[in-house]
Amino acid sequence: MDVIGIGETMVSLTPDKYGLIRQTSSFEPRVAGTETNTLIGLSRLGHNTGFISRLGEDELGAMVLKELRGENVDTKLIDLDPYHQTGLFLKEIINESDVHVYYYRQHSAASQMTRELLDESYISSASYLFITGITPAISESCKQTIFTAINMAKNNGVKIVFDPNIRKKLWSESEARQTLIEILKLSDIILPGISEGQFLLDSNDPEEIGKKCVDLGAELVVVKLGENGAYYCTSDHGDYVPSFPVKQVRDPVGAGDAFAAGLLSGLIDELSIEKAVERACITGGYATTYVGDYEGFPDKSRLERLTNLSTSEDVSR
């Protein structure tokens, strides 16, 4: 296994047109979740991935399982819960730069995850454990599950990849800050955005965010800068990588997950850090040209074409 993730996957109801939800006549159900978006992105690029979670034993859960299996994500450690429902959220796209998400996930099946769900031999089979700051915010038992998984990974030489992905609506700011900084200290690779750097580290400067994360113990920090690309650093080197240019952004949701998939794919393929970040910028940028959380994530052949395009003079800037 290359990458294993832990978290909650839900069903997203995506409107048929731009505008307020009240103006929408129909929605299309889609599977969505930060961890599984990233795992699907990795799977499309030829890597072996697995997911640990809990779903409701309902039609939405069946939809999630069908989609994950269709994308070649291993689901053997997804537990089905007959007493709690699969989470749901609605997406509202006013325009490409004004997107709102409304969650209906309280008491969901995933929020009932406990440490007993984990299998240390399964986690130890991976090179990377991918986690986000969303899962520990869902419930106290989910928080305990995440820290137990981190310990299992560390005991077996599995690198921890952490995307803070802060959701302030799910918990108090003080608890969020304390918990996520604790996870930062245990992580090998950290993928913050500027707003997360400001919240956790009191800085909106990419270089300072990177240095502070390295000082906490990270081997690699990649700060996501959106249309400005990314800044990466290790203990002895740092540099900026430009974004991948796109003609039109249709849906920015999922871009950060595509970015994470591209970065880990590059590291698994043993690219240099700079080239891995370049791949991340390509996958993250390209994902915004499709409506949906992961629908625009490229496969290996498309990634190759996009990589060649990003270095040609034909790119529309």
- pLDDT (tens place) for every residue of the chain, 317 residues total: 999 999 999 999 988 888 898 988 899 899 989 999 999 999 999 999 999 999 999 999 999 999 999 999 999 999 999 999 999 999 888 876 788 888 888 899 999 999 999 999 999 999 999 999 999 999 999 999 999 999 999 999 999 999 999 988 889 999 999 999 999 999 999 999 999 999 999 999 999 999 999 999 999 999 999 889 999 999 999 999 998 888 777 767 778 999 999 999 999 999 999 999 999 999 998 888 877 677 788 888 899 888 887 654 444 43
User: Which ranges of the chain does DSSP label H, i.e. alpha helix?
Assistant: 34-44, 59-70, 120-124, 135-138, 140-155, 173-186, 194-201, 206-215, 255-268, 273-287, 300-310
* Catalytic option among 74, 81, 251, 257: 257
pTM over 0.75: yes
Cβ partners under 8 Å of residue 279, min gap 6? 262, 263, 265, 266, 271, 303, 307
- The tens digit of pLDDT for each residue in 151-184 reads 999 999 999 999 999 988 889 999 999 999 999 9
The pLDDT score that the predictor gives to residue 312 is: 47
Question: Could you give the CA distance from residue 32 to residue 29 in angstroms, rounded to a whole number?
Answer: 9
DSSP 85: P
Active site residue 257: yes
Quickly count: other Cβ atoms within 10 Å of residue 160's Cβ. 21
Question: Could you give the CA distance from residue 231 to residue 225 in angstroms, rounded to a whole number?
Answer: 7
Residue 272 has phi, psi (to 5 degrees) of -65, 160
Residue 276 has phi, psi (to 5 degrees) of -65, -40
The pairing of strands 98-104 and 128-132 is unpaired
- The tens digit of pLDDT for each residue in 189-211 reads 999 999 999 999 999 999 999 99
For the chain, the first-to-last Cα distance in angstroms comes to 38
The pLDDT score that the predictor gives to residue 316 is: 41
Q: Are 40 and 15 in contact (CB under 8 A)?
A: no
